[in-house]
Amino acid sequence: MPDVSEDSQTYAIIGAAMEVHRVLGCGFLEPVYQKAFARELTARGIPCKCEVHIPISYKEELLDCHYKADFVCYNDIIVELKALDGLTVTHESQLLNYLKASGYKRGLLINFGQTSLKYRRRVL
């Protein structure tokens, strides 16, 4: 997998998340980080949509359900935020499922819940 520094768009998103974490620290609930992150992305000119519905298909037929991604940035990067003590395989699986369902190739899982910002970048 390429280093995050080789992808200027995900690098910019991570930079916005670092600024939010620098200002707020850890300890807030996820909705607080979502609102602050949305403002930081906008302030940096990073195109984003919040709480994006991702339809789910089974055998090429749409199901009557959907995922809801926290953010889609640059029209093709899914960003999932957490405010937890740590990230697990289940959280990574959530991001991978969002990528599979959406057809997007890049995703970021960002956790504000620890004393330093943690993130994982995934590319399909």
Q: Which of 106, 124, 115 is nearest to 85 (CA)?
A: 115
CATH fold for domain 4-123: Lambda Exonuclease; Chain A (3.90.320)
- At residue 83, the pLDDT reads 97
Task: Give the count of beta carbons closer than 10 Å to the beta carbon of residue 38.
Answer: 18
Give the span between the Cα atoms of 70 and 78, in whole angstroms: 8
Both structure tokens of 102: 């959406």
- At residue 116, the pLDDT reads 96
- At residue 1, the pLDDT reads 44
Q: Which residue, chain included where needed, has tokens 């939010």?
A: 20
Q: Where are the domains of the chain?
A: 4-123
- At residue 6, the pLDDT reads 64
Across the beta sheet with 106-111, the strand order is: 48-58, 61-73, 77-82, 106-111, 118-123
- At residue 37, the pLDDT reads 98
Averaged pLDDT, groups of 10, the chain, 124 residues long: 68 98 97 98 98 93 94 97 96 95 96 97 93
Between strands 61-73 and 118-123, the pairing is unpaired
